[in-house]
Chain A
Amino acid sequence: MSQESFYKEISEAIVSLDREKAISFAKKAIEENMNLLDVVEKGFGAGIRRIGELWEEGEFFLPELMLGGNIVQESMEILLPFLKANKEDIMSGKVVIATIEGDIHSIGKTIVATMLSANGFEVYDLGADVSAEKIINTALEKNANIIGVSALLTTTMIGQKKLIEILQDKGIRDKFKVILGGAPVTQNWVNECQADGYADNAIEAVKLIKKLMD
């Protein structure tokens, strides 16, 4: 089998949400000493991007998007230890993500975290109801590129602004790109907070972060 058709088979396994097949392909790639960077990018990466497109086209639903993301995540965990390059060189970037303090709405944030991870980002998902200080400390500790903060309530949105103010006060605003998420977030709010952007859904979030990382 040519390499190209192997990549295509991987991508098809991802799109058909076949976990067993995807994992067996990951193992096969390791056993056969293939170029794992290409396997990740042209096989698994292509598959998850296709799933994203299918979701945008309305063909796929969120449970399928999540399952696709989880399968790619699992496959990546198998592949990562065998990738010869540095982790930093392979991964698209590091993201610390959380729902802000006082807010327990986590589903949107979780979908974004899964899709980022499946798209090759190193993601630290701190969960819901997380203080701005904890998010910042984790971002510093992990040397993250991106901080993603979600809020679903107007009463907790203020925490998104507070996080950016703390970064400014500490003189470390430039260390991170900060993106916002959640139903009430608008471009006006992004401007008011001096954030770097917001996304309406998980696929847009991936695109936004890729753009910010360029």
Chain B
Amino acid sequence: MTILKPKIQLLDEEHKIKVFNEAMDILENQGIFLENKEAIKIFKQHGIDERNSRYFIPSDLVDKCLESIPNEIKLYDREGKEFLSLTKDNVHFDPGSAAIFILDEKTGEIREALSKDFIHFSKIVEQLQFIDAQSTAIVYQDVPKEAQDWHRLYLALSNCYKPVITGTFRKESFKIMRELLLACRLSEEDLARKPLAVFDACPSPPLKWSDLTTQSLIDAANSMIPSEFVSMPLAGASAPITLIGSITQHCAESLAGVVIAQLTKKGAPVIWGGSPAVLDMRRGTTPMGAIETMMINIGDVEMGKFLKLPTHAYMSLSDSKVPDAQAGFEAGMGALLAGLAGINMVSGPGMIDFESTQSIEKLLIDNEIIGMVKRFLKGIENFGAPFASNILKAYDKKQELLSHPLTLKLFKKELFLPSPIIDRLSRDAWKDSGSKSIRKRAIEQTLKLEKLSPIKPIDEILAKQLDQITSANI
């Protein structure tokens, strides 16, 4: 029995209520900017007032929409097996998505990605024990621009069985992506019942739902496919510099998403997520590894939990350009804090250089970090008293406890056993094995993982179907 579930909180009940009420007030009196025709039509049908493309959403309508949202989303793997559940304080990780570059582990250079890089990446993700879902993590350059969003879903599904976090860059792509997903299911109802993919929907700060992202949210809602809000207030630039102000803006933007989804289709599944950041006041960049970025994320998620919704955040990323000590501590702090906040889906592993680059080396290191985080979250267990005295009596007899039955029974349960990526050698042994850095060890581990056969090989007929859909659309 776990004694205490490890947990952190940054907002108390009083402040959650204040943030929520102010967000409702912002929607009602300042309004959100909307330009998508379908959404505008739906809003008009519900009598939502408009002035200069700003829509003023009354609080009672938001309340009503909140009532119909599911508070749990289960994701299923490619083969339709239940895989993970986004609810309560369940914690899952997926690779940070839509990197436009990769750090080539062979040359050490950051470069534009090719489809073979994403295939390689997806196969590695399949093997990583603590990366729970995959994502369309890399945007590659050797397909036509019009296919750059949906083609990633094709390669993801073809090379890894885990559920996918994805998204569109063009309105037209949703249809193709839905077709790819349907190929993995028996029918539309089956896909709605057993979601395989989540679509990111990213409002533009402050308070704007763009045409593209609104359409994605509407299309997904119509098919009962989960959407994940990625509201991204930039504190000090497009959002208040105060953390509480940014959290309030995130809440308003996300509540607007709730309304769009629920008015499109009652009960449509959505995830309360985000990628907020603080503006770096020296360089004007958007540090994902900043501690305040993580604090805003945690506050945002607490608001999601306050509303009893599944939650998401972009954490466990680094702004460093190589998987160095900075990448390690930023990813490590992010992953642990995300775990302690009970975030249902944490996007970030593998990512460096803000949100621009994926690194397989870092992904493997992050996998170890997440292993440790998940161990931490299990807390300290009570195996029954006495806790030590009997075991110590046994020590007196044998002068060691390695062979104690309890050690053998529990060491795999009590300890997280890292891969050789984590250095625990003696100094001499470390020297003898080539004095390797963690990057070198991660690359060596990649070479091992590459050689493994898929955990769940794709069915040949399904693979062909996915190929056909792709060739028909490219």
When the two chains form their complex, are residues A107 and B169 in contact, meaning their CB atoms are under 8 A apart? no
Known contacts A104-B210, A154-B100, A184-B356; decide if A62 and B284 are in contact (CB<8 Å). yes
Which residues B299-318 have CB closer than 8 A to chain A?
A: none
**Nearest 10 A-B pairs (CB), nearest first?**
A61-B281, A107-B237, A154-B100, A104-B204, A62-B281, A155-B169, A62-B284, A108-B284, A61-B282, A111-B284
Q: How far is the CA of A158 from the CA of B100 in the complex (A)?
A: 14
> Nearest A residue to B241 by beta-carbon distance?
A63
When the two chains form their complex, are residues B237 and A201 in contact, meaning their CB atoms are under 8 A apart? no
29 pairs, A vs B, C-beta closer than 8 Å: A55-B282, A58-B282, A61-B281, A61-B282, A62-B279, A62-B281, A62-B284, A63-B236, A104-B204, A104-B208, A104-B210, A107-B234, A107-B279, A107-B284, A108-B284, A111-B284, A154-B100, A154-B139, A155-B145, A155-B148, A158-B145, A183-B285, A183-B354, A183-B356, A184-B100, A184-B356, A201-B283, A201-B284, A202-B284
Contacts of A111 in B (CB 8 A): 284
Chain B contact residues, majority secondary structure:
loop
Which residues B247-296 have CB closer than 8 A to chain A?
A: 279, 281-285
Which residues A38-60 have CB closer than 8 A to chain B?
A: 55, 58
Residues of A within 8 A of B (CB): 55, 58, 61-63, 104, 107-108, 111, 154-155, 158, 183-184, 201-202
Q: Is B238 an interface residue (CB 8 A)?
A: yes
> Nearest B residue to A107 by beta-carbon distance?
B237
Shortest beta-carbon distance, B438 to chain A, in Å? 27
Which residues B158-212 have CB closer than 8 A to chain A?
A: 169, 204, 208, 210
Contacts of A158 in B (CB 8 A): 145
> Nearest A residue to B353 by beta-carbon distance?
A183
Q: How far is the CA of A154 from the CA of B210 in the complex (A)?
A: 18
Contacts of B208 in A (CB 8 A): 104
Which residues B198-244 have CB closer than 8 A to chain A?
A: 204, 208, 210, 234, 236-238
Shortest beta-carbon distance, A151 to chain B, in Å? 12
> Nearest B residue to A55 by beta-carbon distance?
B282
Q: How far is the CA of A96 from the CA of B237 in the complex (A)?
A: 22
Which has the most chain B C-beta neighbours within 10 Å: A61, A108, A158, A184?
A61
Q: How far is the CA of A108 from the CA of B210 in the complex (A)?
A: 20
Partner of B282, one of A62, A183, A184: A62
> Nearest B residue to A64 by beta-carbon distance?
B281
Shortest beta-carbon distance, A100 to chain B, in Å? 15
Q: How far is the CA of A108 from the CA of B280 in the complex (A)?
A: 12
Shortest beta-carbon distance, B135 to chain A, in Å? 17
Which residues B39-56 have CB closer than 8 A to chain A?
A: none
Q: How far is the CA of A61 from the CA of B237 in the complex (A)?
A: 13
> Nearest A residue to B280 by beta-carbon distance?
A62
> Nearest A residue to B205 by beta-carbon distance?
A104
